[in-house]
Amino acid sequence: MSPEWLSAIGTLGTFIVIAASAIAALMQLRHMRGSNQIIALNEVRETIESAEFQAAESFVVRELPERLKDPAVRAALLMPFFPAEFQPVRTVANFFETFGALVKNGIIDPRIACDLWGGVTIRAWDALAPVTANRRTLPGWSAVWENFEYLTVLSNRFYDAHPDGAYPQGMERLPLPDLWPEAKAGHDVS
């Protein structure tokens, strides 16, 4: 065998080793991305299920709409720093702002985020939309909570595409037991 052929075979072998290494590296990056997503999803779940967040969300959804009828409250919510009694607003909005940024930047898959927490996202946005709209009128605040808004848009699209849930089509459903009398009250179950 001539030296040129040996050199060509050596070059081809080197190319194959480099290509295999590149493929292995890409696969490892894919696994690392999956691991990072699992960690991020777990952090989101832990936060949403925490007592502190549950209390803040309850305040935002149940109490804030009534409180917004008071002009003094509305004025307080236009200040750069919220009064202590309105920190739940900041807690909920900033959480969803961060969550939306994770989705927007590909750390969390949008479909998973919307499937698991789209309803919570939409409910929080609806309650905080008046605060958001008015804070965006302040100088330098025109983009406040835009990642929260982005996540809400994705969640709305997800629910529009899956009005009856996202259970896989064609998959059989399990039989459910009879409804309780309390669940039937006020429902037309004919």
How confident is the model at residue 36, as a pLDDT?
83
Q: Is the pLDDT of residue 189 over 50?
A: no
What does the pLDDT average to over 101-120? 96
DSSP string of the chain, one letter each residue: --HHHHHHHHHHHHHHHHHHHHHHHHHHHHHHHHHHHHHHHHHHHHHHHSHHHHHHHHIIIIIHHHHTTSHHHHHHTTSSS--GGGHHHHHHHHHHHHHHHHHHTTSS-HHHHHHHHHHHHHHHHHHHHHHHHHHTTSTT-TTTTHHHHHHHHHHHHHHHH-TT--PPTT------PPPPHHHHTTS---
pLDDT at 30: 60
pLDDT on residue 3:
72
State residue 187's pLDDT score.
61
